[in-house]
């Protein structure tokens, strides 16, 4: 049995609609906003990241960090903060 290249599978997931809707919206918004980023770590399982079977690690250019944060907020993400010391 031949395994497809994970990058081909990920691209296919985005184009055919099998990627999670949020991942499709995120990738589209990043492209539209011109945010510079790359998939970071576990490239061999990027296809699994597109469908939610694995996490998706992105490395974002420091120049685009603020725009990336604003984009995530616009997509409905909520910032997570560590608990305060002392409870």
Residue 85 domain flag: no
Residue 36 domain flag: yes
User: What is the rounded average pLDDT for all residues in the chain?
Assistant: 76
CA distances from 51 to 6, 17, 40, 46 (A): 12, 10, 17, 9
Q: What is the pTM of this model?
A: 0.67
Number of independent structural domains in the chain: 1
Specify the higher pLDDT residue, 35 or 23: 35
Residue 31 domain flag: yes
Place of tokens 């974002």: 60
pLDDT at 58: 85
Residue 40 domain flag: yes
CA distances from 80 to 11, 18, 72 (A): 29, 28, 12
Residue 13 domain flag: yes
Q: What is the pLDDT of residues 27-67, one digit of tens each?
A: 889 899 999 988 777 666 677 677 777 777 888 999 999 99
Q: Which domain holds residue 17?
A: 6-74
pLDDT at 44: 65
Contact status, residue 40 vs residue 57, Cβ threshold 8 Å: yes
Residue 44 domain flag: yes
Specify the higher pLDDT residue, 41 or 11: 41
| Cα distance between residue 77 and residue 14, in whole Å | 20
């Amino acid at each position: 049995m031949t395994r497809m290249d994970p990058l081909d599978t990920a691209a296919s997931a985005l184009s055919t609609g099998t990627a999670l809707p949020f991942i499709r919206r995120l990738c589209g918004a990043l492209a539209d906003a011109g945010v510079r980023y790359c998939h970071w770590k576990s490239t061999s399982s990027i296809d699994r990241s597109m469908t939610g079977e694995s996490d998706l690690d992105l490395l974002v250019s420091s120049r685009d960090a603020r725009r990336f944060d604003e984009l995530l907020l616009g997509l409905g993400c909520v910032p997570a903060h560590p608990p305060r010391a002392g409870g």
